[in-house]
Chain A
């Protein structure tokens, strides 16, 4: 089988087995709903001023921690089910990574698609440039999914998997999160009242190159972990 078809087969398997139980999807969705409720309640009680800057920061805090609860299952679940060996026999390490990464990215994009409008309407923040917001969210989610899929493969070999995933991923995601928050600020009109695309262009470039680097590095390194387990 060609590399692309093999990767797509893994992606298909991920989506299908997720759709049977919908464990990751529902846990991620419930976590997001809980976080949104908490944000809404806390700001309602505090009644402090919530501008677009608060919204931009909260979007990425929400996405990072929701990703940490849902995306870590990618490799862990194969070890738990005892299916890792069968997968290792049928597919290459890089295609398994690519398939799982695509499924994770899809899950995170779905989440961003639902949670971001909810959060923005909750905080009554207007979007100055929806196209820029969509670009920043999409590239940011792809980068986060790539890093979490890679660290999930590392964590799958360790005990105490829960908290470890966020601890391993956070330091590496700092460049992405800084650029993403900056770009979201521009999309929400901070220092960009006209809603132009140009103020966020640099952030989009940083996010795109981050995603490319994360994907390339993962594909080069994954075989060393995958063949170990």
Chain B
């Protein structure tokens, strides 16, 4: 079953990637329509960042509210590390796009600003984790930081566009052809599958580490 799912995911991602180059027409309305195909990879990555960030916050909440299981902390940490990974991918694909279409890799566009601040939060989160030895204390402190950030950062969504709207370069209403919708959503579906797979592997690794630590403590 698992092997079949992995095989299916591999074929699916290969097909969608091929479709982004062969089936997808050039996006009209951009400076360089042919180069705008990177959208098909950029948008799904940004959506997976949101899923990973929500998952990380959810498991942090579950750790504090229900049972204080270190497994929940491990899930929260794994989701945060994957959020960082997809954050970097979104930023890099976005910068390539911005360099080609808007003339500069970095423009302090509101969405660029927001994703950069998200990266800073996750970087600080991992530094904070590495500074605490005791696993239970580390789990509680990290969970509180994730939840505090989850409350404080949505204000960015209001504040940044309010002050930086004149600088916005992201198209408000993208006039993309219907082929884009199908390719972007298909790639998103595949990427969510990939996220679940990565999450599973990294979580099992964390669980083994926890089991080893408790076994060592018992010896």
Contact = CB atoms under 8 A, between A and B. Distances in A.
B141 A158 contact: yes
Contacts of A154: 128, 141, 144-145
Interface in B130-167: 131-133, 136-137, 140-141, 143-145, 147-149, 151-153, 155-156, 158-160, 162-163
Interface string B56-85: 000000001000000000000000000000
Interface size class of A (residues with CB under 8 A): 20 to 34
Interface in A187-218: 202, 206, 209-210, 213-214, 217-218
Chain A interface mostly helix, strand, loop or mixed?
helix
B120 interface: yes
A218 B148 contact: yes
A213 B128 contact: no
Given A154-B141, A167-B127, A168-B128, A224 B64 contact: yes
Contact of A224 (B120, B132, B140): B140
B128 to A, nearest CB: 6
A228 B137 CA distance: 6
Contact of A175 (B120, B148, B155): B155
A164 interface: yes
12 contacts: A151-B145, A154-B141, A159-B132, A167-B123, A170-B124, A171-B117, A171-B153, A172-B152, A178-B159, A228-B136, A228-B140, A229-B137
Closest CB pairs A-B (n = 10): A158-B131, A175-B159, A217-B151, A175-B155, A172-B152, A171-B120, A171-B121, A228-B140, A167-B124, A168-B124
Nearest to B142: A154
Interface residues of B, number: 33
Interface of B: 64, 113, 117-118, 120-121, 123-124, 127-128, 131-133, 136-137, 140-141, 143-145, 147-149, 151-153, 155-156, 158-160, 162-163
B141 A147 contact: no
A175 B160 contact: yes
Of A154, A206, A210, A213, chain B has the most CB atoms within 10 Å of the CB of A154
B159 A179 contact: yes
B152 A217 contact: yes
Given A154-B144, A178-B160, A228-B136, 17 more contacts: A150-B148, A151-B145, A157-B137, A158-B128, A167-B124, A168-B145, A172-B148, A175-B155, A175-B159, A175-B160, A178-B163, A210-B155, A213-B151, A217-B152, A221-B144, A228-B141, A229-B137
